[in-house]
Structure 1
């Protein structure tokens, strides 16, 4: 924090620098298009120093959400509805990863998950797990998405949704990825505001089921066996959701 109103960020590793620079490009164009009843709904970061790289933006008021109430759900639904209708081509020109790169990364992740995760699952769960990865590979990539609008990236104050933060994972992808948390066990008001139809709900369930796989990968990458176990429990808990009610 700087002067009680600025958030200042610096990359801790060289490989994060490119992502941080990319974060500074879309928000100035994107923020005015997105409806939230607060002065600064989306942080608009700008570079204040190149050496070392330092990015600064106004502090967005509020604390991370744990769940959505009806009012917050409606606001988030309208917010994401507007985000997903922003011009994808313009977003790519401003540094957002294009569909081609996203689909390549998605295929690489599916192969990695097959190689490292499937052997850790009970044999009788291999087939539904493999089916999930096949389903993910077939999903579209045709809209600008936030990439991870979960509780830690949604801020609220006095009961109102005040901001959506951290657009570092924004890309051209399947807009159902942004609905995974809100549509699966969260707020009915969100679904009504967004206008989620049956096919979109099914795709959101696929992304919801995939969520714990990333936790397993993080645990494997860091050697944290507790995280691996927690992620595997999540994988098994969510697998029956594919094609379910």
Structure 2
């Protein structure tokens, strides 16, 4: 079985049946807008995004997402986030599901312009500075997301599957980085973070970021987990606008953010090659190159 396959897929006809519990949504206009690692997402009546868990881990993430989004409703973040509206009941052996406001646009990986994020450094700096200052109740990082000791072997294993897609110079640079990086444990953190900030969770419209989605990995941890997106999506020479807004970071935080950027990008590359997704593959390769700058 492909590790990305769903244990609980939801077809359009199944989604329509589940949505009948919400009388105010009838009649339904429904279309598939995304199939992620953990959820199948349908746009309903051009207003809402309904997320149906594809596996148990997706259900657990959905509970976290719903919890934190309710807390963030009145926080006035400078980049839009989904607003929770509907909470659907499970049917038979399936999972419950949720409906959020639909953020207009496409996910970043659908965009051809891989330099697009560079012009959004200032807004991203404002967004993450605000987010990381919030007092939100969320679970701790029990997955060791920033533990180089735990994640480095997984990264090396994944590299064996995608090494052939990397230019030789990039491959050599990446191997050098992994050889020299300090093997540290998961850092203690007290910051509220998104926790899964990467190109598939960023929405873009008309060349600008229009939303940040998929908050199922939000937790109390270390800000480097979110800063990784800056290192994978913005080339080194263009990061000044971001850090002018966010503030300076220390060397240890930078090293962890770069490592996480590489880890996420390599995992996205493995996903893209398994799923034959050229768009995600393009952004994953750019993410690796940017993180090494």
Q: 1:42 aligns with which of 62, 75, 81?
A: 81
Q: 1:189 aligns with which of 219, 241, 249?
A: 241
User: Which protein, 1 or 2, shows the higher relative CO under an 8 Å CA cutoff with sep ≥ 6?
Assistant: 1
CA contact (8 A) 2:48 2:102 kept: yes
Q: Please report how far the alpha carbon of residue 157 of structure 1 lies from its aligned counterpart in structure 2 after TM superposition.
A: 2.7
Q: Please report how far the alpha carbon of residue 91 of structure 1 lies from its aligned counterpart in structure 2 after TM superposition.
A: 2.1
| Counterpart in the other structure of 1:91 | 137
Decide whether aligned partners of structure 1 residues 123 and 104 sit closer, same or farther in structure 2, where only a CA change above 3 A counts.
closer
| Counterpart in the other structure of 1:142 | 190
Normalising by structure 2, we get a TM-score of 0.60
The answer to whether residue 101 in structure 2 is matched with residue 58 in structure 1 is: yes
Equivalent pairs, count: 224
- Using the alignment, how far apart are the partners of 2:229 and 2:220 within structure 1? 19
| Counterpart in the other structure of 2:9 | none
Decide whether aligned partners of structure 1 residues 75 and 124 sit closer, same or farther in structure 2, where only a CA change above 3 A counts.
closer
Q: 1:103 aligns with which of 112, 125, 144?
A: 144
The answer to whether residue 69 in structure 2 is matched with residue 27 in structure 1 is: yes
Structure 1, unmatched stretches of 5+, are none
| Counterpart in the other structure of 1:157 | 205
Structure number with the higher helix fraction is: 1
Normalising by structure 1, we get a TM-score of 0.70
| Counterpart in the other structure of 1:208 | 261
Alignment of 1:162-181 (within 5 A): 162-181=210-229
Secondary structure of the equivalent of 1:161? Answer: strand
Secondary structure of the equivalent of 2:144? Answer: helix
Structure 2, unmatched stretches of 5+, are 1-42, 109-113, 164-170
- Using the alignment, how far apart are the partners of 1:124 and 1:59 within structure 2? 40
CA contact (8 A) 1:143 1:174 kept: yes
- Using the alignment, how far apart are the partners of 1:236 and 1:60 within structure 2? 28
